[in-house]
Structure 1
Amino acid sequence: MTSGPPGRPSPVPRAADLTRALPTPASPPGARWARLRRRLWASVSSTVVLVAADWLAVLLCLASAWAVRGFVLPALDPSFGPLYPLGTYLVDLYLLLPWILALAQERLYTRRLLFWEEVRYTTRGTSLATLVAIFVIYATGTTAEVSRLLLGSVWVTSLAAIPLARAGAKLLLLRLGWWERRALILGAGATGRQVLERVRHNHLLGYRPVGFLDDDPGKQGSEVDGVTVLGPLADVTKWVRALGVRDVVIAMPRLARPELLRVVARFEGSVESIHLVPDVLGLTTAGVETQDLDGTLLLHMRWNLARTWSRLVKRSFDVVGAMLAGVLLFPLVLLAAVAVRYDTGGPAFFVQDRLGRGGRRFRCYKLRTMYADAAQRLESHLRDSHAARAEWERYAKLKMEDPRVTPVGGFLRRVSADEWPQLYNVLRGEMSLVGPRPFLPGERPQMGVLAQTILKAQPGMTGLWQVSGRNELSFDQRLHLDEYYVRNWSLWMDIVVLARTVNSVLRGWGAY
């Protein structure tokens, strides 16, 4: 298969074109060497660009801190004396090499991670580099030159600068074609579609699905969300070679073990990575870790919020966060309450029973966003519109035309301001800033066995369900996200969810 020069992504041909131009099983040595050179060039270039992005990000943080400390602070307070030239600090900090080495130690130049997962590792790496720099400065006696204020400023600003620089570098690498890895998905069923959707959503990972393979004759030759089902599983080797595939995703969790081994044996030496979506006997993979017990694979299921220490840390975070947010938002809540009262003439607040931790009911507070006769309006609308009824049965919400919502209520919902009074529930210990969705008592039967896990935690003002599509998700999808949260909770996850919630609210994503 011919290809453009290194750095320029070649288009993926159609299945019919590739069928006529498949290479023979023994590709010419020259073609194989050319492909290896292109891959080596892309790999080395990607690493160099990422290292440069990290180094420039730290340099920018150092230069900014140096400028503020050397020019802004002395102008405000004459007690701040002059600084050494910027080059002196670069030499004292060993040209910022501790930061690059710390990020390399976190394997951030050899693996591909989701954005927020990468933020966690860059935070750990930059923190380690800062501690190393402080130790070296004290050990070498250069504390008079490099102040703690300067290093602290570099550390704080680099927490945001490095992830953003890396994201920008990856976008550049994708445009150049150096970050792209072609992937083939085995299995065009529901699992394969889910893999395709997740890969496309997280495009900075660089994976490019170029085709499906499936043994179902009815699917072969068709397209799944714009990606062609190229043929049966038996053709995996020739398609790997024809398309220059580097990653194969086996998205057939119910494939029998003997058949799985035969499929893997066909291409195991032809690709760099094999990704397997496992079958865990109907159990969710939320919170599952693998462990090798002398050759026996064990699946370890976590339940982080079952730990007393985890709940104590989370509660402390909730109290501090709710108090700070309450001080900032209290005037806005009063203003919104006056607007609601003026809009409808009814009460400004809406109180409803919800399921709390352990299934106990509590009174959940919200700003009222619906008319007083909302139930009658909904019943009439669902009776007149079959599309609205189908949407209600799937999502338990109406996305577009909801006759129950007032004009002011629609605005409050778009910015999630109707949920601000729930800070009172957080301070009372009935809710958390981040957690599972607060379910209605009538929804308990629909939750099924997952209720036993989800109701072990306080419901949240926001959660994974809100930053992963919110009302665009089905009821079952929300349940699985809530279970994942309870099993995999960490303080870092709460911080990430809160940050993503602000972003979702500003974009008005999924708010109805």
Structure 2
Amino acid sequence: MSLSTGIFAALTVASDESRPYRLALVGLVPVLWLSALAMAHGYERRYLGVGPEEYRAVFRSSVVLVGLVALVSYALHWDVPRDVLAVVAVLLGGLGLWGRAVLRRDLYRRRARGAETQATVVIGNARTVHSMIREINRAPEQGMRVVAACVSGLDGPRDAPSDVDGIPVFGYPEEAMSAVDLFDADVVAVSSDPDLDGAELRRLAWSLEEREVDLVVSPGLLGVAGPRLSIRPTAGMPLLHVERPVMSGGRRVVKVAFDRILTGGLALLALPLMLVVAFVIRMDSPGPVLFRQKRVGAEGRVFDMVKFRTMCVDAEARLTALRAETGLAPDAGNDVLFKMKSDPRVTRVGRFLRRFSIDELPQLINVARGEMSLVGPRPPLEREVEAYEPDAVRRLRVKPGLTGLWQVSGRSDLSWDESLRLDLWYVDNWCLVLDLQILMRTARAVLRGAGAY
């Protein structure tokens, strides 16, 4: 039975006394869908445009609604064809996710222009307020706009004018409510500060409740996303419970299956392009088509990463001389990652391949062999791992990726600290929805060609 035939049969079967009920059910689907989204927190402002929770709400809503329709049809003996349920699941889930992605991009554009943002007053100690303001300003698309700070621990007289990262300091934390009223704030953000105890925070929350102002509190755990955080009430105290990052068991099986299935489809689509690229490389410069290099994978295992060759054959021999020049080159890489704009070792074809990341397509072979994942940290060289500090070694807990947060956040334009921060965040907060987000953002990053050289 085709999909169209199934839909038609569900609504127009002759002499079926349940037809009015089916028509009523179809009419109720939009209402039920919106209700399911609301119950899954799909319309809460705190999730709109922030993290993967918004997409999880859409997925959960589609599953729950389809399950509910199946349960009701079984209980009332309505013969709803399975084809119809399949179509409903695809439309609700697929189009819902696509629609949210489109709306999120538009929201990010408006927030980048200063619209649809929430005026935010930051409270806390001078040391912690500085890092909070920096992180908020780093991500304007998240919708928070710092307008003032109430800070303790500043040097100098109490009445002296001051600012933190360009944000005016209104006063001390006890003057926060005056700042909220003066700047018409929508959010008060409290940084990790030992001087702000539970009683003071409770009184602050009561005052903000009367003004319908949101309160957010930083737990002081940089790099831990919401799904790993929950409140555990113990002996009358709300304790913040931090779940251990999980990349084993069932979740590992899901990621491996996701990688293998999607890699097979991508390899079939990319095969004609890869054959053309191989021919062009052979015509452009002498040497092999593929370039193999030792990289370090999960748990420190070394493997041969495969790429299209984009440099001359003696590129490695010329590396030492180029590294000596990096101290004079303002666009060169750093002590850990060596990246250099206008690298003389790159061939003419290689520049084009690198700009659009076509040279990385053969890494699908590494993904198929289980040495890499489609999404993960950047695969490091052995000499890079030898220079790692203890924190950086954590990147090796998961398989390196063909793409990752580093790919969609600036690529080679990122500093080592920024690349490390993104990789560690991914390791600590991996989920399948995050992988899907990164893959969608990768397509846009590759087409723009920004940060690739």
CA distance in 2, matches of 1:408, 1:376: 21
Among candidates 237, 241, 266, match of residue 325 of structure 1 = 266
Secondary structure of 1:245's match?
coil
Among candidates 100, 105, 108, match of residue 39 of structure 2 = 105
Query: Does the 8 A contact of 1:434 with 1:459 survive in 2?
Result: yes
Cα 1:161–1:308, aligned 2, differ >3 Å: closer, same or farther? closer
Query: Does the 8 A contact of 1:347 with 1:368 survive in 2?
Result: yes
**TM-score normalised over the length of structure 1:** 0.71
Query: Does the 8 A contact of 1:223 with 1:229 survive in 2?
Result: yes
Following superposition, the deviation at residue 354 of structure 1 comes to 0.8
Which consecutive residues of structure 2, in runs of 5 or more, have no partner in the other structure?
A: 13-18
Alignment of structure 1 residues 40-79 onto 2, 5 Å: none
Specify the alignment match of 2:229 in structure 1.
Answer: 289
Residue 414 (str. 1) matches residue 351 (str. 2): no
Cα 1:438–1:258, aligned 2, differ >3 Å: closer, same or farther? same
Alignment of structure 1 residues 264-303 onto 2, 5 Å: 264=201, 267-271=204-208, 272-279=213-220, 285=224, 288-290=228-230, 291-294=232-235, 295=237, 297=239, 299-303=241-245
Query: Does the 8 A contact of 1:462 with 1:498 survive in 2?
Result: yes
Specify the alignment match of 2:135 in structure 1.
Answer: 194
Among candidates 63, 66, 69, match of residue 130 of structure 1 = 66
Query: Does the 8 A contact of 2:36 with 2:65 survive in 1?
Result: yes
Residue 211 (str. 1) matches residue 151 (str. 2): no
Query: Does the 8 A contact of 2:312 with 2:347 survive in 1?
Result: yes
Residue 441 (str. 1) matches residue 382 (str. 2): yes
Query: Does the 8 A contact of 2:10 with 2:80 survive in 1?
Result: no
Query: Does the 8 A contact of 1:355 with 1:361 survive in 2?
Result: yes
Q: What are the superposed Cα offsets for residues 29-51 of structure 1, whole Å, 9 maximum, x if unpaired?
A: xxxxxxxxxxxxxxxxxxxxxxx
Query: Does the 8 A contact of 2:355 with 2:449 survive in 1?
Result: yes
The structure that is helix-richer by fraction is 1
CA distance in 2, matches of 1:379, 1:387: 14
Alignment of structure 1 residues 16-27 onto 2, 5 Å: none
CA distance in 2, matches of 1:390, 1:400: 6
Q: What are the superposed Cα offsets for residues 90-144 of structure 1, whole Å, 9 maximum, x if unpaired?
A: 6644262211111111122334211533112111112212222333344445546
Q: Percent identity?
A: 31
Cα 1:263–1:367, aligned 2, differ >3 Å: closer, same or farther? farther
Alignment of structure 1 residues 325-364 onto 2, 5 Å: 325-364=266-305
Specify the alignment match of 1:28 in structure 2.
Answer: none
Residue 505 (str. 1) matches residue 446 (str. 2): yes
**TM-score normalised over the length of structure 2:** 0.79
Specify the alignment match of 2:364 in structure 1.
Answer: 423
Residue identity matched to 1:131? G
Residue identity matched to 2:445? S
Following superposition, the deviation at residue 436 of structure 1 comes to 2.2
CA distance in 1, matches of 2:288, 2:51: 43
Following superposition, the deviation at residue 246 of structure 1 comes to 2.7
Specify the alignment match of 1:485 in structure 2.
Answer: 426
Specify the alignment match of 1:42 in structure 2.
Answer: none
Residue identity matched to 2:346? V
Secondary structure of 1:249's match?
strand
Q: What are the superposed Cα offsets for residues 396-451 of structure 1, whole Å, 9 maximum, x if unpaired?
A: 24464333322211221122111111111122221122222211111223333235
Cα 1:247–1:485, aligned 2, differ >3 Å: closer, same or farther? same
- Per mean C-alpha deviation after superposition, the further-off stretch among 422-431 and 483-492 is 483-492
Cα 1:173–1:326, aligned 2, differ >3 Å: closer, same or farther? closer
Alignment of structure 1 residues 145-294 onto 2, 5 Å: 147-148=84-85, 150-164=87-101, 167=104, 180-186=117-123, 187=126, 188-198=129-139, 200-203=140-143, 207-215=144-152, 216=154, 220-222=161-163, 224=165, 227-251=167-191, 253=192, 255=193, 257-259=194-196, 264=201, 267-271=204-208, 272-279=213-220, 285=224, 288-290=228-230, 291-294=232-235
Which consecutive residues of structure 1, in runs of 5 or more, have no partner in the other structure?
A: 1-67
Specify the alignment match of 2:16 in structure 1.
Answer: none
CA distance in 2, matches of 1:399, 1:244: 47
Following superposition, the deviation at residue 231 of structure 1 comes to 4.4
Secondary structure of 2:380's match?
coil
Residue identity matched to 2:396? L
Following superposition, the deviation at residue 229 of structure 1 comes to 4.1
Cα 1:360–1:173, aligned 2, differ >3 Å: closer, same or farther? closer
Query: Does the 8 A contact of 1:436 with 1:485 survive in 2?
Result: yes
CA distance in 2, matches of 1:140, 1:169: 43
Query: Does the 8 A contact of 1:381 with 1:388 survive in 2?
Result: no
Query: Does the 8 A contact of 2:336 with 2:384 survive in 1?
Result: no
- RMSD (Å) for aligned C-alpha atoms: 3.9
Cα 1:95–1:376, aligned 2, differ >3 Å: closer, same or farther? closer
CA distance in 2, matches of 1:269, 1:82: 54
Query: Does the 8 A contact of 1:436 with 1:458 survive in 2?
Result: yes
Query: Does the 8 A contact of 2:108 with 2:141 survive in 1?
Result: no
Residue identity matched to 2:135? Q
Residue identity matched to 2:53? E
Alignment of structure 1 residues 369-408 onto 2, 5 Å: 369-375=310-316, 386=327, 388=329, 391-393=332-334, 396-398=337-339, 400-408=341-349
- Per mean C-alpha deviation after superposition, the further-off stretch among 418-427 and 386-395 is 386-395
Cα 1:142–1:310, aligned 2, differ >3 Å: closer, same or farther? closer
Residue identity matched to 1:329? A
Following superposition, the deviation at residue 361 of structure 1 comes to 1.1
Residue identity matched to 2:369? R
